[in-house]
């Protein structure tokens, strides 16, 4: 990290006051700072216009001390339905630590990636660290979002898995999912993937993070006397993934929620910040 004479710098843009975003941003800033990088938070009011957001991103593009830019989703509804896309399109692709810029998405598709979306990258890191084989295996990704499902499918494909992408219109979803050696759930629906979706011994990556506040839902997900039920009684909410916790009984391996994909996503923000600093340094040399 000392090689370039200064630590890598990350600029994080947080617009509005979404409580989950506050937590995500705090964790990202903490991790990046603790690792020795410089991180700065730029806040925009919930009433801020899309033009204000774009102007801030352009400023950060020009700011030499900022190597990486991350704009936390979701943006306030008042910025318009296409606000996120407009913001991602405006970020300098070399500073795009989220990997959402169309240029970086294209490079990923062509397997020439440098900056790749952090959550799918974190999932791959988990699989590789656990030595889960991917070559020739059937990977099923449930979810086709630009930030998780699609880049996840590409990364698995590039590791020689045979990949099926499922979504809300997929027919016989449980049946398809049951053919997976590696099943990735990125749906945004609490405990959606139940035991009948999982082949015994399969590896299951749970990307979902859902907060449960309804007692019936908590009772559907967690057994009586469990730590989660006690937590719900105390706090009035608990987190659950997109995978039902009892999938643990059939899966060969299952990532926990919280504590699985989430921390790895943040670790990849750090990795991408360092990569972005190196990319800019290389560009500086090339100019
Ligand atoms: P999204 O809403 O953009 O996409 C959800 C996808 O799920 C869609 O492609 C949709 O087709 C599919 N889907 C919805 N209902 C379905 C159904 N009934 N059957 C099959 N497919 C269905 O969500 P996203 O941004 O991809 O996020 C997915 C989940 O991952 C959310 O819970 C989100 O909070 C979580 N997430 C976690 C992290 C992390 O760091 N762990 C990062 C990003 C997202």
Distance (Å) from CA 112 to ligand 1 centroid: 26
Interval 180-206 mean pLDDT: 98
Architecture of domain 132-255: 3-Layer(aba) Sandwich (3.40)
pLDDT at residue 287, rounded to an integer: 36
- Burial, 130: exposed, middle or buried (Cβ in 10 Å; 0-12, 13-18, 19+)? exposed
Q: What is the CATH number of domain 9-111+264-286?
A: 3.40.50.10860
Indicate if 98 belongs to the active site: yes
Alpha helices for the chain (secondary structure H): 19-34, 50-62, 83-90, 102-109, 118-129, 149-157, 173-177, 215-221, 227-235, 261-286
Q: What are the residue ranges of CATH 3.40.50.10860 in the chain?
A: 9-111+264-286
pLDDT band for position 231 (cuts 50, 70, 90) = very high
- Ligand 1 close to Cβ of residue 187 (< 6 A): yes
Q: For a substitution probing ligand 1, which of 168, 177, 192 has the most ligand atoms within 8 Å of its CB?
A: 168
Ligand 1 site, residue 209, Cβ cutoff 6 A? yes
Task: Report the separation in Å between the CA atom of 52 and the middle of ligand 1, taken as the mean of its atom positions.
Answer: 28
Nearest CA among 188, 190, 198 for reference residue 147: 188
- Mean pLDDT confidence for 33-60: 97
Is the distance from CB of 189 to CB of 143 less than 8 angstroms? Answer: no
Q: Using the 8-state DSSP alphabet, how is residue 45 labeled?
A: -
pLDDT tens for residues 94-134? 999 999 999 999 999 999 988 999 999 999 999 999 999 99
Task: Judge whether 282 counts as a catalytic residue.
Answer: no
pLDDT in the model for residue 3: 63
CATH 3.40.50.720 in the chain is located at 132-255
* 95-106 pLDDT per residue, tens: 999 999 999 999
60: burial class by Cβ within 10 Å (0-12, 13-18, 19+)?
buried
Would residue 150 show up in a list of annotated catalytic residues for this protein?
no
């Amino acid at each position: 990290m000392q090689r370039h004479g200064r630590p890598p710098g990350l600029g994080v843009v947080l617009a509005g006051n979404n409580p989950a975003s506050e937590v995500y941003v705090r964790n990202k800033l903490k991790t990046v700072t603790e690792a020795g990088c410089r991180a700065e938070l730029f806040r925009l009011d919930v009433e801020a216009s899309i033009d204000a957001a774009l102007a801030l991103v352009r400023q950060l593009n020009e700011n030499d001390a900022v190597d990486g830019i991350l704009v936390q989703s979701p943006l306030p509804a008042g910025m318009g339905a296409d606000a996120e896309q407009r913001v991602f399109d405006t970020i300098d692709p070399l500073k795009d630590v989220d990997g959402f810029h169309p240029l970086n998405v294209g490079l990923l598709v062509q397997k020439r990636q440098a900056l790749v979306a952090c959550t799918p990258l974190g999932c791959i890191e988990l699989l590789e660290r656990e030595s889960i084989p991917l070559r020739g295996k059937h990977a099923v990704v449930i979810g086709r979002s630009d930030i998780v499902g699609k880049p996840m499918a590409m990364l698995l494909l590039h590791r020689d898995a045979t990949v099926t992408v499922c979504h809300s219109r997929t027919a016989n979803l449980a049946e398809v999912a049951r053919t997976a050696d590696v099943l990735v759930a990125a749906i945004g629906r609490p405990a959606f993937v139940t035991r009948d979706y999982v082949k015994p011994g399969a590896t299951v990556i749970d990307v979902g993070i859902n907060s449960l506040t309804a007692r019936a839902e908590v009772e559907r997900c967690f057994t009586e006397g469990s730590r989660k039920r006690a937590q719900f009684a105390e706090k009035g909410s608990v987190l659950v993934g997109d995978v039902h916790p009892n999938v643990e009984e059939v899966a060969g391996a299952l990532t926990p929620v919280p504590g699985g994909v989430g921390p790895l996503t943040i670790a990849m923000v750090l990795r991408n910040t360092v990569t972005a600093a190196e990319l800019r340094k290389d560009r500086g040399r090339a100019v």
